[in-house]
Amino acid sequence: MQNGSKSIHLVSIAAVYRAGVEDKTIPPAGCLYIGDALKKAGYTIHIHHISSSQAAELALKISETPSLFVGFSILTGSPVVHSARMSKIIKSKSPSTPVVWGGVHPSLMPEACLKEDFVDFVVQGEGEITSQELADALANDGSLRDILGLCWKDPAGRIHINGRRPFIKNLDSFRQDWNLVDINRYVKTGIDGTKYFTFITSRGCPHNCGFCYNLVFNKRRWRAHSVEFVVEEIQKIRQLTGIDCFVFNDDNFIVNKDRAFQILKRLQEIGVRVYWLEVRLDEIDENILSQLSNYGVRTLFVGWESGSNRTLKKIDKGFNTDLIREGFQKAAKFSFEIDASAIVGFPFETEKDWSATYDMVLQIDSINPGRNKFNVGIYVPYPGTPVAKLALDYGFRFPNDIMKWDSFDILEGNMEMPWITQKQVKQIAVRDRYAKMLYVAGNKNFLVTSTRRLFALAARLRFKSKCFLIPVEAKIYNQIIRIYLKYRAASVKNRPRHI
391, 399 Cβ separation under 8 angstroms: no
- By residue count, the chain amounts to 499
Alpha helices in 193-283 (DSSP H): 214-217, 227-241, 257-269
> How many whole angstroms separate alpha carbon 101 and alpha carbon 153?
13
At 351, is the secondary structure helix, strand, or coil? helix
pLDDT digits (tens, 9 = 90+) for 173-204: 999 999 999 999 999 987 677 899 999 999 99
pLDDT digits (tens, 9 = 90+) for 419-471: 999 899 999 999 999 999 999 987 777 888 898 999 999 999 999 999 999 99
> How many whole angstroms separate alpha carbon 221 and alpha carbon 15?
26
pLDDT for 448 equals: 83
Q: What are phi and psi of 195, to 5 degrees?
A: -95, 130
pLDDT digits (tens, 9 = 90+) for 322-353: 999 999 999 999 989 999 999 999 999 999 99
pLDDT digits (tens, 9 = 90+) for 261-273: 999 999 999 999 9
Q: Is the pLDDT of residue 86 over 70?
A: yes
| DSSP conformation letters of 74-90 | --SSHHHHHHHHHHHHH
Taking each continuous run of H as one helix and of E as one strand, the counts in the chain are: 17, 16
CB atoms within 10 A of CB 492: 16
| DSSP conformation letters of 81-142 | HHHHHHHHHHHHH-TTS-EEEESHHHHH-HHHHHTSTT--EEE-S--HHHHHHHHHHHHHT-
pLDDT digits (tens, 9 = 90+) for 118-177: 999 999 999 999 999 999 999 999 999 999 999 999 999 999 999 999 999 999 999 999
183, 240 Cβ separation under 8 angstroms: yes
Q: What are phi and psi of 58, to 5 degrees?
A: -65, -40
- Reference 406, options 34, 40, 83; nearest CA is 83
At 52, is the secondary structure helix, strand, or coil? helix
pLDDT for 498 equals: 43
pLDDT for 64 equals: 94
Residue 4 pLDDT class (50, 70, 90 cuts): low
Residues 6+ apart with CB under 8 A from 190: 196, 275, 442
pLDDT for 488 equals: 59
Domains and CATH numbers, the chain: 7-161 (3.40.50.280), 185-493 (3.20.20.70)
Q: Is the pLDDT of residue 411 over 70?
A: no
Q: Please state the pTM of the whole predicted model.
A: 0.92
> How many whole angstroms separate alpha carbon 281 and alpha carbon 305?
11
Helices 286-294 + 257-269 axis angle, to 10: 20
419, 457 Cβ separation under 8 angstroms: no
Q: What angle do CA 23, 27, 32 make, to 5 degrees?
A: 140
Mean pLDDT of 2-15: 83
CA distances from 324 to 122, 286, 361 (A): 40, 14, 11
Q: Is the pLDDT of residue 481 over 80?
A: no
Q: Is the pLDDT of residue 496 over 90?
A: no
